[in-house]
Each structure stands twice: as structure tokens, then as C-alpha cells.
Amino acid sequence: MKTNAAFFTLTCLLILLLSNGCSPQNTPDIETKIGGTLTPMDATPAATSSPPPGQAPTLAVKPAITDEPDCLILGGQVKAAHIPSINMKNDFSFHVYLPPCYEEDTAQRYPVLYLIHGQSFNDDQWVRLGAPLAADKLIGDGMPPFIIVMPFDKYHYRQPAADPFDEAVIDELIPYIDSTYRTIPERASRAVGGLSRGGGWALHFALNHPELFGAFGGHSLAILDEDGRRLSRLLDAIPVENMPRILMDIGKSDGLRASVEKFEAQLTERGIPHEWYVYPGYHNEEYWTKHVEEYIKWYASGWAGE
């Protein structure tokens, strides 16, 4: 047996010298992660210096060539701003997300998504939850770019009837946004969404001003008292062709679930198209953060054909 083993070893060495291999199988293709990106190992290696004795050589793989402009790679901008406001007493604050390449591509105009925060929070809530990051990701993956406006309802502690947020958004903020930024100032290119009380405001805007908004999203929706008493009349007053796209979702353990399910039943009874999801979770930021990318993707998908 020792003789056979020696003979096999000698034979293998001779084959290795002649054919650079002894295995009867081909070496499988190998891939490696370079900077988090899966890159084929057949990329042309750059020249490397000799390694220290006993250390394996390292091949530097050339980075993949991309046609993406730098501004797309860098992502969008989030800015805090405010405007003079009669309704909000002196000023109306908001955050605005401008998509990647907004400053560079000066000929392009954009749809606008209005996102409203929950009660006891302010206009940076959607930023903290990750809405701009989700938008960057979707736009980087090929979704048409859009602007996000996140207004601050500083009277969120008041009953809705005593809160001038409606007038401030409709009469002051939207005209300012359309005159200051390169928006597409049309109903089909304007959406409104919100979470908790912000979702209640989004529903209010969609049903009371259907000529302005082509889509509405209510996330853990807290329906405003006045609207809750007249939902049937509001729904019946909107022509079918003016009914916005509708998305609603809520956590299974959310205390508002029963009231939202009642509203969803009204939509179903009338044959009004809508999307409705009940996920595991509660009425909190952990739940909204988990689903924020789904929300942003839904809004943006309505503009994919523009």
C-alpha cells in the first residue's frame, strides 16, 4: 500500500506540472464581498506589492464601474424650514426632503408627499422613523424621485375644531411649497399621509379636499372627532373619479383598531377600493419604524408611471 501511495503521489506531481491541476473536478466560481457588494472574483486585479514572508498575497479588486451620478449616491437632503403664518400665529414650521440630484437636475419637477406626525410629536418624527432614508433607497433602486413635506401641528394638544392646522396647510403651506420648489402642482401628483392623529388629519384632508390629493394613507389612524361623526356624508359626497387611492394599516394590539375597522367596513360597503393591513404590533414608534419603507413605497408607486 505504501508503494501504491508513493506512485500515486509521484503521478499527481507530474500531472500538476503538465496541466496545473490534479483534481478531476473544475474549481467552482468564487464570489467575495467587497465593501458589502458581492463582486465576482474574475474582476481584473490591480498590481500589488510583494507580501512579507509567510503572508499570503492580497489582490486588490478594481471597484465596479457605475453610471450613477454622485448626487444619486449621496442621497437627498432634509431641511428644517418655516414660513410666516396667520393661522399658526407668526410661523409655520416644517421639514422638507428634497430627493437626490434636486439641485443638479434643475429641469425636473416632482410629486409631493405630505406626511403628518402623531400627537405629542413634532415635524422631525417622520425623519427619525426613517422616511427620507426609505425614499433614498427607493429612488436609488429606480423609483421616480419625489419631495416629502413634513409639517408641524403646534396645536396638536387642542381639539381638532380649535386647531387651525387645516387652514394653515391648505391656504398657506401648499401654495408656498408649489411656488418655492419644483413640484408638479396637480392632484394626481400630491399625496397625504400620517400616523395616529396625523393620520386623522390626512384623512380629513383627503375627504374634505379631494380635489387636492390623489392618495391618502392612514397608519394607526386616529379619526378626528368631527370627521368621525360625518364619515358617511363625506364619503358619499366624493365622486368615484375623485376618490383618492387609500392605504390603511394598524397593529393587532392597537387600542384604535376597532374604530379603524369600522371605517374600513364603510369603505367596503360602498365598494371603494382601498388597501387594508393588520400587522402584529402596538400604537408606537417601534411599529411605525418597522413599516415605514412599505408606506413610502406605496405612496411612490402611484407616481411610477409619471
Of the candidates 22, 220, 11, 237, the one whose C-alpha atom is nearest the C-alpha of residue 121 is 220
Task: Please give the residue range of the domain that contains residue 125.
Answer: 70-301
Nearest-angstrom CA–CA distance, 97 and 80: 9
Are the CB atoms for 159 and 82 separated by under 8 Å?
A: no
Q: Would 277 be classed as within a structural domain?
A: yes
Q: Would 9 be classed as within a structural domain?
A: no
Backbone Cα Rg of the chain: 28
Q: Would 306 be classed as within a structural domain?
A: no
Q: How many residues does the chain have?
A: 306
Q: Would 121 be classed as within a structural domain?
A: yes
Are the CB atoms for 33 and 39 separated by under 8 Å?
A: yes
71: cell is: 448626487
Nearest-angstrom CA–CA distance, 170 and 205: 9
Number of domains making up the chain: 1
Q: Would 182 be classed as within a structural domain?
A: yes
Residue 170 Ramachandran class (φ > 0 left, ψ -120 to 50 alpha, else beta): alpha
127: cell is: 425623519
Q: Would 190 be classed as within a structural domain?
A: yes
Are the CB atoms for 185 and 211 separated by under 8 Å?
A: no
Q: Would 52 be classed as within a structural domain?
A: no
Q: What is the pLDDT of residues 4-46, one digit of tens each?
A: 444 444 444 444 344 444 333 433 333 322 222 222 333 333 3
pLDDT of residue 114: 98
The phi, psi pair for 123, rounded to 5°, reads -75, 0
Q: Would 11 be classed as within a structural domain?
A: no
Of the candidates 33, 251, 218, 241, the one whose C-alpha atom is nearest the C-alpha of residue 118 is 218
CA atoms within 13 A on the CB side of 112: 25
The phi, psi pair for 302, rounded to 5°, reads -70, -15
63: cell is: 471597484
256: cell is: 384604535
241: cell is: 373619479
- Supply the pTM of this predicted model: 0.78
The CATH code of the domain that includes 279 is 3.40.50.1820
Those residues of the chain that have pLDDT short of 50 are 1-65
Residue 276: C-alpha distances to residues 57, 90, 101, 217 (Å)? 56, 39, 34, 10
